[in-house]
């Protein structure tokens, strides 16, 4: 809640005190109450769904109006989230339960308590919206079949250690698991038989991303490296040294194959598809660890959710705007064959378009209980603080 007060000086014969503090307006801020664990693009890139696990809530933001549309209260602390169809949200929580919520009615449709004995760290759904995979701290992979308003258990795979990430590729009949042993294990989806391992990371793999063609995957680890893997040849294509903190989120840009990575220090890096060389790195995008990155369906936007309770939407631009201070450019040097002259051309630049957090809503308040003159006077912060300093000087003298 934001409250704005007005300072005014009283005449000496009116009251003993020289100053009067009068409340002008009161407004409630739209914001996230806890860190962002997961975000999802919704309604053809017009909305963003953000999971705030510790505050037991799901926020739905409209990007056109830049306002909070809906807020769904969850029964427990959510850790992972997937969108099933256009109406349902499936949440895996800290207590090991699975919950299904209806977006329109904001009600709990179905829940499976103690689906896992530990927290559910990862949750994935197939593109046909019929198969769901859950994995967590108990080292068990469970495959579920989604029906109208509930899910039924199909298969179980027991492992010896915690599963941090799970990805389904039904087209290739495989499921990919990342465990604490820093290995990436691939199993057949139909019978859950072991297929092969991908080894190379020295510390646990935290995040995993799959390219559009389902032949290439990217893994980010706590050892600050990103590795590109070829699933067909079962080999490593590229080793990327980020020289930063642990890689906490990773995402392929849709339709291009370019790669986004985010780290625990709050920075986002952009890598080229052809050779996976760095295009640009943005430092201090967030004030805390970035837990999730999601590319839009058209590939023109990328959303990031962080521990600092904020969601930021970034747009990839091809034109450089000098008047916009949020635009940064990245240049690629090319060599002319005939004259040997080096040219520079702009490849990509980033533009910060929306900032859905406390700061953003603070700049877009709907003030109540005050007339137009008082609004203009109070919102002119320079005038407000100058008058306040003048009054304090008079009082000290």
CA distance 139 to 362: 43
With CA atoms as reference, report the closest residue to 93 among 72, 107, 113, 109. Answer: 113
Task: Render pLDDT for 48-87 as a digit per residue (tens, 0 to 9).
Answer: 888 888 888 998 888 877 788 888 999 889 999 999 888 8
What is residue 389's three-state secondary structure?
helix
**8 Å CB contact between 326 and 73:** no
Question: Which tokens is 290 given?
Answer: 């970035």
Mean pLDDT of 352-379: 34
The gap from C-alpha 249 to its chain's centroid, in whole angstroms, comes to 9
372 contacts: CB under 8 Å, gap ≥ 6 = none
pLDDT at 24: 64
**8 Å CB contact between 44 and 83:** no
- Least confident piece of the model among 113-122, 240-249, 372-381: 372-381
Mean pLDDT of 130-158: 90
- Least confident piece of the model among 134-138, 151-155, 332-336, 377-381: 332-336
* Torsion angle of the four alpha carbons 292, 273, 270, 288, in this order, in degrees rounded to the nearest 10: 20
Q: Which residue has the higher pLDDT, 99 or 317?
A: 99
pLDDT at 205: 93
SS (H, E, C) 77-95: CEEEEEEECCCEEEEEECC
Q: Is the pLDDT of residue 26 over 80?
A: no
Q: DSSP H helical segments within the chain, as ranges?
A: 358-362, 372-379, 381-396
Task: Render pLDDT for 269-326 as a digit per residue (tens, 0 to 9).
Answer: 888 888 888 887 888 888 888 999 999 888 888 889 888 888 888 877 654 444 433 3
pTM: 0.73
Instruction: Tell me whether residue 28 is exposed, middle or buried, using C-beta atoms within 10 angstroms of its C-beta: 0 to 12, 13 to 18, 19 or more.
Output: exposed
**8 Å CB contact between 205 and 182:** yes
With CA atoms as reference, report the closest residue to 357 among 81, 66, 103. Answer: 66
CA distance 292 to 82: 13
Mean pLDDT of 96-102: 93
pLDDT at 20: 66
C-alpha count within 13 angstroms, C-beta hemisphere, residue 63: 23
pLDDT at 357: 32
Instruction: Tell me whether residue 45 is exposed, middle or buried, using C-beta atoms within 10 angstroms of its C-beta: 0 to 12, 13 to 18, 19 or more.
Output: middle
Element (H, E) at 332: strand 328-335
What is residue 180's three-state secondary structure?
coil
DSSP secondary structure code for residue 29 in this structure: P
**8 Å CB contact between 126 and 168:** yes
CA distance 84 to 148: 11
């Amino acid at each position: 809640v934001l409250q704005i007060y007005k300072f005014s000086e009283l005449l000496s014969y009116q009251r003993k005190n020289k100053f009067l503090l009068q409340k002008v307006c009161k407004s409630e801020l739209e914001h996230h109450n806890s860190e962002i664990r997961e975000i999802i693009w919704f309604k053809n890139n017009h909305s963003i769904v953000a999971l705030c696990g510790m505050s037991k809530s799901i926020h739905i933001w409209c990007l056109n109006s830049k306002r909070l549309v809906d807020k769904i209260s969850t029964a427990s602390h959510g850790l992972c989230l997937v969108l099933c169809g256009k109406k349902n949200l499936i949440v895996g929580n800290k207590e090991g339960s699975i919950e299904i919520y209806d977006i329109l009615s904001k009600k709990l449709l179905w829940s499976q308590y103690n689906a896992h004995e530990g927290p559910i760290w990862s949750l994935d759904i197939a593109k046909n919206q019929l198969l769901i995979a859950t994995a967590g701290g108990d080292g068990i992979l469970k495959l579920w079949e989604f029906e109208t308003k509930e899910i039924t258990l199909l298969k179980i795979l027991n492992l010896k250690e915690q599963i941090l990430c799970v990805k389904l590729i039904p087209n290739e009949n495989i499921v990919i698991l990342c465990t604490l042993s820093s290995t990436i294990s691939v199993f057949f989806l139909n019978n859950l038989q072991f297929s092969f391992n991908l080894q190379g990371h020295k510390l646990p793999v935290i995040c995993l991303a799959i390219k559009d063609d389902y032949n290439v995957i990217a893994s980010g680890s706590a050892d600050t490296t990103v590795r590109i893997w070829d699933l067909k040849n079962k080999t490593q294509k590229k080793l990327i040294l980020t020289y930063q903190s642990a890689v906490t989120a990773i995402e392929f840009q849709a339709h291009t194959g370019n790669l986004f990575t985010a780290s625990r220090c709050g920075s986002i890096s952009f890598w080229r598809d052809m050779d996976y060389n760095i295009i640009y790195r943005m430092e201090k995008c967030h004030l805390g660890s970035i837990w999730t990155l999601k590319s839009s369906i058209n590939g023109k936007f990328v959303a990031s959710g962080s521990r600092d309770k904020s969601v930021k939407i970034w747009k990839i631009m091809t034109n450089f705007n000098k008047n916009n201070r949020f635009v940064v450019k990245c240049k690629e040097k090319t060599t002319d064959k005939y004259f040997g002259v080096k040219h520079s051309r702009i490849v990509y630049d980033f533009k910060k378009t929306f900032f859905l957090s406390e700061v953003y809503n603070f700049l877009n308040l709907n003030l109540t209980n005050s007339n137009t003159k008082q609004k203009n006077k109070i919102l002119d912060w320079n005038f407000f603080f100058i008058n306040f300093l003048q009054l304090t000087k008079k009082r000290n003298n």
